């Protein structure tokens, strides 16, 4: 049977292919992407949820469809989307694989910063009547601005292209220093999905009757949890399942129960 880590990696790469299937106008859908992936990407098949929320906020419309869809995404998988699907998360995981060490900067968990980021992004969109965050977004830099520069020869550099390069460079430095920095501290979509971590149908669960509290599960945690109680429950938990492979007593598992 395929190891959980390999299965996750395969899912992440499959997700990168699927979100990039919009290489013709017909294949570009109006469905929301359940991950932080820029719809400015030349081959994007789905809409960025944060870009969509900003666009609706900017024009003063309530995003019924976007909020309903995000609710369904959150209810089904919570932050599984972050750990198993998100292309920007995959980039951070790849950097972690290259680095092969624990966090170089030991930052404490601060779950509210991503909510602050989400609020700031929406308030800015409303005040500027524009999707202003898109001009700074490091995911947009990596998946849209840079590819467009090479794919679409009719475009030239503008001021915000250099801003994109700077934000991406800063982001990559932070990813090298701190594992999954974006997901832990800044991701506005992670903030939304994090709200559902306690109610999502698919989730990582800890069976306290089997747990010996050896904390072996925390040794390889990409979000650097220090407490066992945070596994699967904290809004920071990206449900990657690395703790499942580490647990010597099989106390951690993926629950798919509809009841509890």
Partner 1 sequence: MTERKRCLPFVRIAIFGLCLLLIAARAGEEYELVRASVRFICINCLGLSG
- The residues binding partner 1 (CB under 8 A) are 22, 25, 28-32, 39-40, 42, 44-47, 51-52, 55, 63-69, 71-72, 75, 131, 134-135, 140, 144-145, 148-149, 152, 154-164, 199, 201, 258-260
Cβ nearer to partner 1, comparing 30 with 108? 30
Which two tokens mark 65? 């469809």
- C-alpha 194/C-alpha 190 separation (Å) is 6
The residue count for the chain: 260
Q: How far is the CB of 31 from partner 1 (least distance, A)?
A: 8
Q: How far is the CB of 138 from partner 1 (least distance, A)?
A: 12
The residues near 84 (Cβ < 8 Å, ≥ 6 apart) are 8, 11, 12, 15, 77, 239, 240
Do residues 225 and 234 make contact, with C-beta atoms less than 8 angstroms apart?
Answer: yes
Q: How far is the CB of 78 from partner 1 (least distance, A)?
A: 12
**CB burial class (10 A; 0-12, 13-18, 19+) of residue 121?**
buried
Q: How far is the CB of 75 from partner 1 (least distance, A)?
A: 5
Do residues 43 and 32 make contact, with C-beta atoms less than 8 angstroms apart?
Answer: no
Cβ nearer to partner 1, comparing 51 with 190? 51
Cβ nearer to partner 1, comparing 6 with 25? 25
Sign of the C-alpha dihedral computed for residues 116, 117, 120 and 121 taken in this order: negative
Cβ nearer to partner 1, comparing 33 with 178? 33
Q: How far is the CB of 79 from partner 1 (least distance, A)?
A: 16
Cβ nearer to partner 1, comparing 94 with 208? 208
């Amino acid at each position: 049977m395929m190891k959980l880590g390999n299965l996750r990696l395969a899912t992440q790469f499959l997700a990168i292919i699927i979100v990039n299937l919009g290489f013709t106008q017909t294949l570009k859908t109006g469905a929301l992407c359940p991950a932080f992936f820029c719809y400015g990407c030349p081959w994007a098949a789905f809409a960025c949820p944060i870009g969509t929320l900003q666009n609706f906020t900017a024009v003063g419309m309530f995003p019924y469809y976007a909020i309903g869809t995000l609710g369904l995404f959150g209810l089904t998988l919570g932050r599984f989307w972050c750990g198993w699907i998100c292309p920007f998360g995959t980039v951070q995981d790849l950097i972690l694989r290259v680095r092969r060490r624990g966090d170089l900067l030991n930052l404490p968990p601060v779950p509210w910063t991503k909510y602050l980021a989400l609020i700031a992004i929406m308030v800015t969109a409303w005040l500027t009547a524009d999707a202003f965050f898109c001009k700074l977004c490091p995911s947009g830099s990596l998946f849209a601005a840079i590819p467009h520069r090479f794919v679409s020869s009719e475009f030239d550099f503008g001021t915000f292209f250099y801003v994109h390069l700077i934000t991406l460079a800063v982001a990559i430095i932070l990813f090298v220093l701190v594992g999954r920095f974006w997901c832990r501290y800044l991701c506005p979509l992670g903030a939304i999905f994090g709200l559902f971590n306690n109610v999502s149908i698919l989730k990582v669960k800890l069976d306290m009757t089997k747990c010996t509290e050896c904390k072996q599960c925390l040794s390889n945690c990409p979000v650097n949890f220090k407490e066992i109680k945070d596994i699967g429950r904290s809004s920071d938990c990206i449900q990657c399942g690395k703790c499942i492979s580490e647990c010597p007593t099989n106390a951690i598992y993926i629950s798919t129960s509809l009841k509890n």
